[in-house]
Structure formats: structure tokens, C-alpha cells
Structure 1
Amino acid sequence: MVAVKKILLMTLLIGLTLISLMAGFNFYQTLFGLSTAIICSIVFESLRLGCLWGIALPGWSSKGVALPLYVIVAGSCSFAAITQFHAEIIEQYARERKPYEQEITRRIAEIKKAYAKQVNVKIADLENRINICDRKLALNPKSGYWNNRLDQLKDQYAIAIAVRDSFLLDIPVEKVDQWIDAQAANLGLDFQSFSIESQNSISITTAIQELWGLSTVDAKKIVSVIIVTTTEAGIVMLSIVLAHGFISVKSQQPHQSQHAEIPIEITQELITKFNHDEMNQFIQRCQTSIRENGRLPYARELGKKQRLVRQHFIDQNMDLNELVKNDEQ
């Protein structure tokens, strides 16, 4: 059961480390290339694991050295991971917005085209009226009416040209959708509804804006920081748990096996047939039976391997009572 838990914790630790490693690797690869990214990832992850092991070891000397170094290494890894996450968020946002931006550009161009067509008709009419005034003045140059009329038409013509050019050069920046809707209504254009988000995505975006006052991109960035921070904290926690568990088990092993140490001459004699653990288990079983029953265990009370060990001692005319007594001493 302990081994299963240890394997599970180790698997989780490796998974969290790979998440951090992948984010950092992509960051280094984008900046420096593949070979440098591999070197940086190996160096930083090796330093991080070494520092974690130093923090988990008993004694403040190792902790005093490992802890500041780990803060520096983990900070570098977190910076790389967060930056990479933010870059991916911005890239994804731009990719999602591209069809929308293209459609907005097309609609603005269509509105300007329709507006220019409508205004050009009025400008052409003003030009025609100006020509009429010119002909009238050619017949009667001193006519006050036609002179005033010509000045009015020229002013209207200049204003119409200026307004048209200003509209065509203007690029809406804020509230573009409202601007398009208003201009389309004025010009009699009909555009179909268009959205870059699904209905679920719109609901989530609206909820984020109403609850936290954040845009979708800002919310994603905050979540990425939380993910990186949680990952780093998980790596620290799992490393300390595994290290302390390994040290405690390791420190308990001599205490558990010291009462069943096998004499060296017996080990050398039986090493070709039975391993050290099998001999230990056999002697422990004999000691337990003597303490509880005042006798050595019967063959039926032993496992298959232990029966083979018992039979070997009998075949070699070895005194099991003496063996167990010597071992207990």
C-alpha cells in the first residue's frame, strides 16, 4: 500500500513538473531556439529538483542553501511559464478575432462605398447647378442674383467635398458595432448578425464582465497565473512529502531488521540457494514461534520458501534453536 501511494505521488509530481517544463521549454524555444531551450530546461529542472531535495533533508544548513536558490530557480521557471501562457492567450485571441476584424473591415468599406455613391450624386447635382449659374452669368455678368447664387453653390460644393473626404478617411475605433449599425440604417444597408463567439462563450464572457469587471483576455491571464502558482506549490508539496517519506522509511529499515541479522558464516553458506530477505523472514518466523509457542514452527506453518530453508538446515544437521539463540544475542 505504501509503495502504491509512493508511485501515485511520484506520478503526480512528474506530471506537474512536465507541465511547468513544457511551458518553460516553449518560452525558451521561441526566444533562443531548440538546442538552447533543451539546455535551459534541463539545467533549471535539475536545479529545481536538487533544491527541493535539499529543502526536504533534515538540518538547517542544507535548507539555508537550497531555499534561496530554489526561490530564484522557481521564480525564473514561473516567469517563463506565465509569459508563455500569456503569449499563447494573446495569439489565440488574435486568431479568434481575425475573422471578426475582416468582417468589420469589409462592412466599413461597404458603408463608405455606399455613402460615397450617395454623396457623389449630390456633388454632381451641385456641379450641374454651378454650370447653369456660369451660363446665366455669361449672358448677364452684372446680375446680382446669379452672382450670389453661384457663391452659395460653390460653398455647398466645397462643404460636400470636405464632408465626403472626411467621412471616407475616418476610421471608427470605439463602439465600432454601434457605428456600423447607425450608418447602415442611414444608408439603407442590411448586414447579417455576426459573432466570433458561441452562445456559451458569450454567456461566460458576460458573466466574467458582470462579476469581476474583466475582459475575457484578462480573465484568462489571471487564470494562467493561478495555474502556474498552483503547479509550483504542488511540486514543492509533493517533493517534500516524497522526500520525508523516503527518509523515514530508510531510517526505519535498520531498526526493523536488526533483530534478524544472519551470522556471516551462514549467509555465505546459503547465499547460493536463498537470498538475504528469505533468510531474515525464516529466522523472524522461528523467533516469533518460540516466543509465542515455546517451540520452532512446524513445516505446515511455514510458507513454501521457508519450508525449503527449514529442510536445508535439517539436511545439513544444523541446530535451529542454536541459530535463533545466537541471532537473538
Structure 2
Amino acid sequence: MHYFITGTAGFIGFHLAKRLLDDGHSVTGFDGMTPYYDVRLKERRHAILSRSDGFRPVIGMLEDRSALERAAETTRPDMIVHLAAQAGVRYSLEEPKTYVDSNLIGSWNVLELARSLRPKHLLLASTSSIYGANEKIPFAETDRADEPMTLYAATKKSTELMAHSYAHLYGMPTTAFRFFTVYGPWGRPDMALFKFVERILEGRPIEIYGEGRMSRDFTYIDDLIEAVVRLAAIVPAEENRVERIDTLSRHAPFRVVNLAGGQPVALMRFIETVEAATGQSAVRNFLPMQPGDVPRTFAAPDLLKALTGFTPSVSVDEGVQHFVDWYRSEMFKQ
């Protein structure tokens, strides 16, 4: 099967493409190599994927619709997976236009591409951030998510809404994934785990926002990829509707699914896990909550389990140790 994946030089896109290539599929990877963080890390990810004869990299921006069309027109993909986006909750306060360009205009271009190519299934990345400061926990896909706390969250919710309209208008089977704090080897340098490990190993203080009184539903990257691969094979349709908890639209072949294990971890417990994995104590600098941050994320994984029989289960102790081992071998020696 052939997959067209946006964001293959990114953290999640890299891991998904690698898994699919290892499984014998072919992948066209589309990525803009934007300088949001060190492009050399993105280039290294693509270099690893390029060791496979089944991988075809294309460099281009989501906002460039013609570039997207040229990249995909010769492949006629069976599946389109849209992972590329301007990420980062806090960065959306500094450079809001990049979120509009990439996450709104770019995502619309991907929807237009899918309308033209008619893949068997369109898969879209969304985020737990769209739940905002919802007080009801755990966060279920059927909960209202109409009060985003950041422009980033607003653009991802908007992508879901645009995708539903395309699924309705053009009968385009679509699944949107809501990711919850994904971490693991080859992760993004702007995320907490990467920063904690980097600073602890270098003997620098770590910054702990919200005075440490936060929790996150951490999802290890291998668990996330397993969930995506399984859901790719489940095209939204009435025959696989899950009663009571499903988000399958009554008007379109469209579904939203949380991808997380439903096991939130307190931030201070997470930091202690990082200290144990590195064998070093952190110098802790406590700071107030940043604008747009939420006190906790907590997924209800019931729909994912009902559809796939799978629930993410890698513990933070195991996952953080894998990341630290990777960091020491691939980054700390740099």
C-alpha cells in the first residue's frame, strides 16, 4: 500500500513512516523543513527514512498547493496522513500567522488534495489542546471542545471542522486523532522531556511551569504509532460504529479518536522519573503557569480500545529511559 504523509521530517511523521516502511509499504513524505527548531534534526530523520527504497522525500510547504499536488499526483496514494503543522502551544503567542498559514491554509490544501485523489482513508492529526480547560475528566471525544485556550488549539479544532465538512460533501472517509503529550526518541527539542534531559545532563536548571502543579497524559511514541496503524485500517462507517461513546458522524464518514492511555502523570513525578533515568538531580526553577497552558490533560481511551482492541501502555519509567538512552547516544555526544 502507498501512503502520502505530510510531516515525515517531524517527530511523529518520522516514526510513522519508518513503521510503515518496515511493514513493507511505500511512503511519499512531504515536509517543509521549517526552522521552528534545528533543521539538522529533521534532516537526520529524513536521512534514516531514505535508507529505504520505498521512501520518496519531497520538500515543500503546505501553503503551496501546487507543490502538494505535484508531490502526490504521480503516486495516487491509498492513504493520506496529514501530520505536518505548526506545533507548539507557547509559540502561537509569538508567531500566530504561522499557525494560520500552516494549520488552516495548509490543512485546507490537504483536504483539496484528498478530494482530488480520493484515497481510501484520510487521517488527520489533532491535539488534546482543543479540550482547553475542560473541568470534566477524563476528556472524552464526545465532550464539547469549543473553548480553546490558544490559537494553536483553535486552528486544530478548525481543521477537524473543515475535515468534517469535506467528509460530508464529498463522502471522504476521515479520521482525526487527538494526540496527548507524545514523547520518545527523536522527539522535538521544544518539548519538556527533551529540555529536561538536555539541561540536567549539562548541569543547568530546568524550568518548571505552574509551580509543578500540573499533570499530563503522556503517550510513548511506539504506542501512538501502533494506534495510528490500527486505526488506518478502520475506515469510518456505520458497520463499525461503537454505541454510546463513538464520534462517528451521523452525516459523514468522519470520526475523532483520542490517542492516549488514560493514565495522567503529575509533572513532579515525571521530573523524578527523568532524574532517575539520567542518574542526576535537577536544579529546579519554579515558574508561574504560562498563558495558554492547562493544568492537566487526561484522555478517555475507551473509543480507541473499542475500535482497535489496543490501549497505549508503555509506562513513563520505561519510555523516559528509552528517550534518555537515545539522547545519550545520538545527541549528547554532538
Q: Which has the larger radius of gyration?
A: 1
Q: TM-score of the superposition, structure 1-length normalised? A: 0.21
More helix by share: 1
Q: TM-score of the superposition, structure 2-length normalised? A: 0.21
